[in-house]
């Protein structure tokens, strides 16, 4: 899937520049910016019960390969706690900024094993410039090349692998949990200033050492290693699998192009439609358009907000993208294959291109 170049000299009418103010006013009048304490305390309680049940099951089950089922369940629970940490970091849960920040720190560092400070720095830059080359850290070249530029820069083995990146993208997601853990630790032990470094290091040390010590005390070494592998694999696959459909394969914005806030967030984001299971697995990220427009909005209010956003986008002729989870992955893999093969034009018409060229 390729994206055509956008003209930096493109301009839009003033109505589009002020469109978000009207949308925000409607959301506030509808009460959608209010907190949903009952929803979040229920999820916290459910997570606590689920965690307690899994570790009780580990103790009772003993030396049995059925422990790997519990490992997978634990991966699901920790992914859900990671999603809650993401929402606390966006200050969606409490009115108090401090309560949100410390909840995010505990949920992310102590339970999910992800540095809150590292995540906030990276994720804030992503929200400010989704899918913008050289500005969005989520599309920087790593194991996968998301742009033609990044693919063209590969040499040797990297160039050969990138041509097949669509094939190994899904298996790579199982390593996302390990990548998040490693990046978090590197951030905390690095030389750059880190706010609450000591607290986060303490949380993560207790988390990793305590977790591993408990498993290797209760289980034979081979089974304990397998348990950790399955848990981290499921955890990473669910987190990576929930974030991947949000923006991969959507328009990439050239570094020199400036886009107003409303279209910057809508045109580069993709919503995922589905039932309760899909919504659970996506951890609230199925309504990515609304989340990017209203990052501080509580998760259960996003679905009502989507009605306002759809109507507003239709009135202003702004493309609003929504698809199924399966269709989103078809688009993602086609995009990655096209980038890897060096495709430049013809397979995807960027909706933003049509809107920017008057």
Q: pLDDT at position 139, please?
A: 86
Backbone angles phi, psi at 286, to 5 degrees: -65, -25
pTM, whole model, 2 decimals? 0.88
* Residue among 6, 15, 24 nearest 259 (CA): 6
* pLDDT tens series, the chain, 358 aa: 333 334 444 444 444 445 799 999 999 999 999 999 999 999 999 999 999 999 999 999 999 999 999 999 999 999 999 999 999 999 999 999 999 999 999 999 999 999 999 999 899 999 999 999 989 998 887 788 888 888 888 888 878 888 888 888 999 999 999 999 999 999 999 888 888 999 999 999 999 999 999 999 999 999 999 999 999 999 999 999 999 999 999 999 988 888 899 999 999 999 999 999 999 999 999 999 999 999 999 999 999 999 999 999 999 999 999 999 999 999 999 998 888 876 434 334 444 444 444 3
* Residue among 89, 78, 139, 92 nearest 116 (CA): 89
Structure token pair of residue 190: 């690095």
Q: Within a domain: residue 9?
A: no
166-207 confidence digits (pLDDT tens): 888 999 999 999 999 999 999 999 888 888 999 999 999 999
Residues ≥6 apart with Cβ < 8 Å to 238: 75, 76, 79, 281, 283
d(CA 256, CA 124): 20
Domain count, the chain: 1
d(CA 343, CA 163): 11
Contact 251, 352 (CB under 8 A): yes
Structural element, H or E, at residue 324? strand 322-324
For residue 89, give Cα distances in angstroms to 217, 240, 293: 34, 18, 16
Q: Within a domain: residue 61?
A: yes
Q: Within a domain: residue 272?
A: yes
Q: pLDDT at position 155, please?
A: 82
Q: pLDDT at position 339, please?
A: 87
Q: Within a domain: residue 3?
A: no
Task: Cite the DSSP H helix spans in 62-175.
Answer: 67-89, 97-105, 116-128, 148-152, 157-162, 165-173
Q: pLDDT at position 345, please?
A: 40
28-61 confidence digits (pLDDT tens): 999 999 999 999 999 999 999 999 999 999 999 9
For residue 272, give Cα distances in angstroms to 76, 148, 245, 300, 326: 19, 26, 8, 15, 9
Contact 298, 39 (CB under 8 A): yes
Q: Within a domain: residue 2?
A: no
Q: pLDDT at position 147, please?
A: 83
Q: pLDDT at position 287, please?
A: 96
d(CA 87, CA 189): 25
Q: Within a domain: residue 224?
A: yes
d(CA 261, CA 19): 9
Q: pLDDT at position 10, please?
A: 41
Cα Dmax for the chain: 68
Q: pLDDT at position 171, please?
A: 92
d(CA 10, CA 198): 48
Q: On the CB side of 306, how many CA atoms lie within 13 Å of its CA?
A: 21
Structure token pair of residue 339: 């980038």
Q: Within a domain: residue 6?
A: no
Radius of gyration of the chain (CA): 21
Residues ≥6 apart with Cβ < 8 Å to 87: 40, 93, 284, 298, 299
Domain boundaries, position 306? 14-356
Q: pLDDT at position 167, please?
A: 86
């Amino acid at each position: 899937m390729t994206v055509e170049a956008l003209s930096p000299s493109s301009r839009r009418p003033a109505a589009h520049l002020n469109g978000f103010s009207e949308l925000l006013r409607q959301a506030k009048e509808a009460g959608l910016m209010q907190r949903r304490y009952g929803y979040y305390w229920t999820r916290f309680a459910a997570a606590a019960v689920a965690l307690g049940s899994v570790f009780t099951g580990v103790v009772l089950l003993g030396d049995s390969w059925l422990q790997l089922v519990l490992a997978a369940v634990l991966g699901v629970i920790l992914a859900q706690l990671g999603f809650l940490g993401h929402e606390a970091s966006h200050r969606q849960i409490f009115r108090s900024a401090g309560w949100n920040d410390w909840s995010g720190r505990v949920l992310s560092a102590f339970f999910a094993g992800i540095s809150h400070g590292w995540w906030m720095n990276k994720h804030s830059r992503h929200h400010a410039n989704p899918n913008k080359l050289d500005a969005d850290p989520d599309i920087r070249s790593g194991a996968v090349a998301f742009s033609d530029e990044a693919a063209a820069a590969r040499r040797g083995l990297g160039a050969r692998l990138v041509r097949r990146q669509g094939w190994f993208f899904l298996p790579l997601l199982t390593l996302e949990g390990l990548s998040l853990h490693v990046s978090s630790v590197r951030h905390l032990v690095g030389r750059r200033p880190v706010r609450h470094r000591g607290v986060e290091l303490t949380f993560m040390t207790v988390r990793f050492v305590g977790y591993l010590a408990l498993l290797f005390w209760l289980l034979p070494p081979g089974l304990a290693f397998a348990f950790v592998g399955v848990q981290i694999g499921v955890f990473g696959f669910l987190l990576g699998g929930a974030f991947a459909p949000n923006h991969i394969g959507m328009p990439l914005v050239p570094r020199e192009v400036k886009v107003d806030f409303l279209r910057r967030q809508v045109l580069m984001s993709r919503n995922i439609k589905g039932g309760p299971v899909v919504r659970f697995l996506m951890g609230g990220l199925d309504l990515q358009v609304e989340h990017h427009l209203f990052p501080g909005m509580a998760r259960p209010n996003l679905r009502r907000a989507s009605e306002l956003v759809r109507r507003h986008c239709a009135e202003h002729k702004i493309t609003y993208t929504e698809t199924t989870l399966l269709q989103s992955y078809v688009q993602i893999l086609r995009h990655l294959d096209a980038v890897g093969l060096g495709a430049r034009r013809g397979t995807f018409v960027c909706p933003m291109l049509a809107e920017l060229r008057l």
